[in-house]
Amino acid sequence: MADIGEAAVVRRALTKDATQAPAPTVNAGEALRPLTDISALGWRALAERAVEPNGFFLPDWELAVNASARGRTGVSALSTGSDTSRLVGLVPVISMWRAYKIPLPALVSADPYGTLCTPLLHRDTPEEAVTGILQQARRAGAHALLFRATSLDGAAIKAFTDVLRRDGMAPLVLQSHVRACLDASGDADDVLREALGARKLKELRRQRNRLAEHGPVHFDVARTPAEIAAAVETFLMLEASGWKGKRGTALSQDDGDAAFVRRATSALAETGQCEIVSLRAGETAVAAAIVLRHQDRAFYVKLGVDERFAKFSPGVQLTLELTRHLCADPAIAMVDSTANADHPMINPIWRGRLAIGDVLIPLRKGDPVVPLIRAALALRGAARSASRLVHLQRKSQEKSS
C-alpha cells in the first residue's frame, strides 16, 4: 500500500494535470517549467553535443510543434544544467493524464510530431544529466517517467540504466519493435542491389522509364530557406492529395499543423538541418519528403506522393534517389526511416534495423505506485487492442454483406 505522501500525490493527479499548473518562478529549486522558458541558445548547444541524435528534439522543430501543432502545444520541460543557458540534459514532457487520461503521478515524453523521443544528454556528462532529470521529476511529484518511442540500444538509455543500477533499479521496457534504417556508409548501388536484387531493380527502372514519358525525371534537393519555403508547399499539396487527405490527417488540413511545419522547416534550413527532397516528371512533382539532419544521422520524416502516378511507385523511386543522395554524403552515417514496424515500402529497401520502445523509468526503489502505473498502461493497451479488433471485425462484416 502506498504511504500517506504517495497517496496524496495520487489524489492530486486525480484532480489536476501537473504540467498545466501555473509555472513556478525560475529558481534553483524548480522542477517543471514551460518549454518556451528554455534558452534556445543553450538548447542548440546541447543538441550539438548530445550523446545520441534526435532530430525531433532539435529546438527549432520541437518549439514549432509546441507553438501550434494540433494537440501538442503547452509542453513542459525537464532540464538540467548549471544555469538556463548551459544545459546538460533535456526532455519535453506532459503529464500521464494528458498523454493517456490515466490519473497517476508520472511524466511522459511529449509527442514531437514524430516517432522518436530519446532525451538529449550532453556527451561529456550523460550521467550527470540523467541524475538531474530524475531529481527534477521527483520534485515535480512524479513517481515514474515514461519515454515513448525511444532508441533502446543507444547511449541515452544506457546512461539512464547505469544511473538507476546504482540505486538498485532498472528501466522497464513496456513494448518494443524494430524499424528500418539505412547504413549510409556504404555504396548506394551495392546497398540497393543487395537489398532488392537485380530483378526488382530492373522492374523499378522500367517503371521509372514509363514515368519519364510524362516528362524528364529529376531529383531535387531544397536546402536554403528560400528553396525550403517553396518545397514545403509542394510537399503539403502532395500529402493532402493522398490517403492522409482522405482521412483528414494531412498537415495542411489543420492551420496549426501547417504553421508548425512551415516554421520548423524554415528555421532548420537556416542551420542546415533540414532538406526537402522531391521527384519530378517534367514540371510535375510526383513525390516529396522532409528529411531532418542531426549530427551524423538523417531522419526520413514525412512523405507525400501523387497517387495518380501510383503505378510507377513514386514513393519508392524517391526513396532510391534519397538512398543515393545520403550514401554520397560523408556527413551522414545512418538514416532513421522513422517508419512503423514492418513498413511495406521502406523495409525491403533499407535492411538495417533500429530497436524502438516505450521505457518506464522508476524514480524510487520499491515504489508501490510504479506497478500501478505499469498495470494501468497495460490495461489501456489491452482495451485499445480489443477496440481495434472489434473495428476490423465490423469492417470485415460490412464488406461481406
Looking at residue 401, its pLDDT comes to 54
Tell me if 218 sits within 8 A of 278, measured CB to CB. no
Q: Which domains does the chain have, with CATH numbers?
A: 4-179+355-393 (3.40.630), 185-332 (3.40.630.30)
Minimal CA–CA distance to 53: which of 114, 106, 110? Answer: 114
Q: Please give the helix or strand (H or E) that residue 294 lies within, else none.
A: strand 284-294
Residue type, 10: V
In 3D space, the residue among 116, 117, 121, 114 whose CA is nearest the CA of residue 43 turns out to be: 121
In angstroms, the Cα distances linking 390 to 376, 378, 384, 387 are 21, 18, 10, 5
C-alpha cell at 147: 519515454
CA dist list (Å): 243 to 75, 257, 319? 29, 17, 19
Cα Rg of the chain, angstroms = 22
**3-class SS string, 32-80:** CEEHHHCCHHHHHHHHHCECCCCHHHCHHHHHHHHHHCCCCCCCEEEEE
Predicted confidence at residue 6, as pLDDT, reads 39
The identity of residue 155, as a single letter, is A
The model's pTM? 0.90
Parallel, antiparallel, or unpaired: how do β-strands 274-281 and 284-294 relate? Answer: antiparallel
Residues forming beta bridges with residue 92, ordered by sequence position: 77
DSSP H or E stretch at residue 317: helix 314-327
> CA–CA distance from 310 to each of 207, 242, 286, 315, 317 (Å)?
10, 10, 9, 8, 11
What is residue 400's predicted lDDT score, i.e. its pLDDT? 58
Q: What is the DSSP letter of 50?
A: B
pLDDT of residue 186: 94
pLDDT tens, residue order, the chain (401 aa): 333 333 344 334 434 444 443 333 223 335 789 999 999 999 999 999 999 999 999 999 999 999 999 999 999 999 998 665 689 999 999 999 999 999 999 999 999 999 999 999 999 999 999 999 999 999 999 999 999 999 999 999 999 999 999 999 999 999 999 999 999 999 999 999 999 999 999 999 999 999 999 999 999 999 999 999 999 999 999 999 988 899 999 999 999 999 999 999 999 999 999 999 999 999 999 999 999 999 999 999 999 999 999 999 999 999 999 999 999 999 999 999 999 999 999 999 999 999 999 999 999 999 999 999 999 999 998 988 887 777 667 666 665 55
Q: Where does 295-396 show beta strands of DSSP type E?
A: 297-305, 334-336, 352-362
Phi, psi of 119 (to 5 degrees): -65, 155
Report angle CA 251, 255, 259 to the nearest 5 degrees: 75
- Residue 245 vs residues 167, 182, 252, 346, 394: alpha-carbon distances, Å: 49, 29, 9, 21, 23
Q: What is the predicted pLDDT for the residue at 138?
A: 97
